[in-house]
Structure 1
Amino acid sequence: MTTAVLEGKTADFDVDEVEYLRHGDKSLLARIYKPRGAGPYPAMVECHGGAWCQSDRFTERLRHEYMASHGIVSIALDFRSGNEDPYPASVQDINYAVRWAKLNAGALKTRADLIGLSGQSSGGHLAMLVAMRPRDPRYAAIALPAGSPGHDASVRCVVMTWPVINPLSRYRHARRALAAANPPDWPKSIMARQDSYWLSEANMEEGNPMLALERGEPVLTPPAVWFQGRDDTLHDYKDTESSFDGNEPQRFCANYAKAGGSIALEYIGMSRGVGHAPDLSKTGDMFDRMVAFIGTA
């Protein structure tokens, strides 16, 4: 890279915890994994998964450690949970976190123009939604400290791992599965969490990266990559209400490219079945491929 330091393997990194935002007496922390050295390094603001209602900044620790050990600052966020604070609360927190990272880029060993977004499952949805609408006044409603430079939440790139890119279609996909003969167990928990976060199908339709593209909204399309496991009927399925021939990953990538964005869909050997949390120690060379993408985005 010519604009940042990206080492093949630094091995050594430090981990700090910082309060990046506070809502009343509720403190939101960022767990920051920083390579040792002067930098500046690429940085990724990381959004955990958990169907918008579960998990925290520790959930995808293996990825954060790998990024830091390969010359990338990983900023793992806590944000408001959909169990208590519905849409767009978490989007506002993440939008603020990107601006906060730009404001504090020097201390984070990065630069404002080297900051990207990353997320897994519902976190992938949140990362892409923030990236596409970085200046949406609803999402940017939390102001930086008085006197701060006027940063927005636009990012250099987006890395998604099996994102819930179309919350409305996934909700209806779950509802159809529940209505089938001998339904599986997963639709009940999926639908309950989506109800808690989204409150209505109208919100699922509005805060929807897939449908925003299909509506022709004037969104940003930074370079992006979608990593997808096999046998994953929660994220890699055909929306029967869409005329698109492929599954949701192919549909989104086609829409993103049509809107002028560069995006790659990369399948990994890991089987990503339903009913259990993904084991990030069994993702093959996915982390290496992430590092390569971030280094060239």
Structure 2
Amino acid sequence: MRDPLPLPSPDFSVSMREVTWLEVGGRTLRAIIYYPGGKGPFPAAVCVHGGAWVSGDRTSTHGFANLIASHGVVVMAIDFRMPSEWPYPAALEDINYAIRWLKHNAAQYRIVPEKVGGIGVSSGGHLILLSALCPHDSHYSAIPMDSDKDASQAFVMTCSGVLDPVARFRMAEKAGELEILMCHRAFFGDAAMMDEGNPARILEAGEATSLPPACFFQGGDDVRVPPGTAERIAALYQAAGGQAQATVYPGMEHSLVSWCKEELDDMMGKTMAMIRSLSG
């Protein structure tokens, strides 16, 4: 189901194109490329949808991806493999490949390959941040590609991100939210895998091999993520040596549908400032 996100007045007209970008494990993975009008070249981002790791597809972030593209960023909104057939780390393998694929096809989509980053919503925020922190992890980069491009990200941005899945699992246990608990278990399998794929632990342990500039956005009334998640992860990111900004919008809920134009404009202003600051 497409997200009916209200859009501010765009700076660029946006066109869309469907592509097949990966055949893996008997799956055909599709993406929607959103590209702004104009000559470019443009920065770009792989967009990862939410759905508690087990649902959704490339159309789920339609409004969000269109919003980003309207500000002059090429967006690749992707499908990726999900449970029950494909638990962790299959989604990370796909996202890692998607970053490399977008860089490899930079000329076709009028992209600056040195300015390819990632954006993610909800559980997609977890996935894109984990990918950003560990772009060379052998588990995540397992799908070969005939290209010299790597999966490092120039920037990373998350909205309502489940950036500490262990803390969210504990919150759901305390609240008796069985559906959320089942989604965690379906994706990670067990506590050891949840800990392995936890950005908070990776940052605390000093295991991140890449720390691109980051923006983390969260609603103040978001009951699907522990309060203060964005701010805590930003603090850990900074302590690890990275540049990160957290913004919490009072009154905004988990779904971006609830966010008002003022918050969306502020989010885009901060995101575009981060992207404009990139070298390359």
TM-score by length of 1: 0.85
Relative distance call for 1:270 and 1:47 in structure 2 (3 A) is farther
Whichever residue aligns with residue 166 of structure 1, its letter is: D
1:231, distance to aligned residue in structure 2 (A): 1.4
Is the Cα–Cα contact under 8 Å of residues 83 and 193 in structure 1 kept in the other structure?
A: no
Structure 1: how far apart are the matches of 2:167 and 2:153? 27
Output aligned runs, 1:28-43, within 5 Å.
Answer: 28-43=29-44
Aligned partner of 1:155 in structure 2 is 153
Structure 2: how far apart are the matches of 1:279 and 1:90? 25
Aligned partner of 2:3 in structure 1 is none
Aligned partner of 1:222 in structure 2 is 212
CA RMSD of aligned residues (A): 1.8
User: Which portions of structure 1, spanning 4 or more consecutive aligned residues, are displaced by more than 4 angstroms?
Assistant: none
Structure 1: how far apart are the matches of 2:26 and 2:232? 42
- 2:270 aligned with 1:292: no
| Aligned pairs, number | 267
Deviations 1:118-177 (A, max 9, x none): 101110010110110000011000011xxx332110011000112111111211111111
Whichever residue aligns with residue 242 of structure 2, its letter is: G
Aligned partner of 1:188 in structure 2 is 178
TM-score by length of 2: 0.90
Is the Cα–Cα contact under 8 Å of residues 10 and 67 in structure 2 kept in the other structure?
A: no
Larger radius of gyration: 1
1:294, distance to aligned residue in structure 2 (A): 2.5
- 2:263 aligned with 1:265: no
Structure 1: how far apart are the matches of 2:120 and 2:149? 21
Identity %: 37
Relative distance call for 1:79 and 1:213 in structure 2 (3 A) is same
Aligned partner of 2:49 in structure 1 is 48
Is the Cα–Cα contact under 8 Å of residues 87 and 198 in structure 1 kept in the other structure?
A: yes
Whichever residue aligns with residue 282 of structure 1, its letter is: C
Structure 1: how far apart are the matches of 2:66 and 2:57? 15
Is the Cα–Cα contact under 8 Å of residues 16 and 33 in structure 2 kept in the other structure?
A: yes
Aligned partner of 1:177 in structure 2 is 175
Structure 2: which 5+ runs fail to align? Answer: 1-8
Is the Cα–Cα contact under 8 Å of residues 19 and 31 in structure 2 kept in the other structure?
A: yes
Structure 2: how far apart are the matches of 1:24 and 1:248? 34
Aligned partner of 1:167 in structure 2 is 165
Structure 2: how far apart are the matches of 1:176 and 1:28? 36
Aligned partner of 2:78 in structure 1 is 77
Give the secondary structure class of the aligned counterpart of 1:126: helix
1:12, distance to aligned residue in structure 2 (A): 1.9
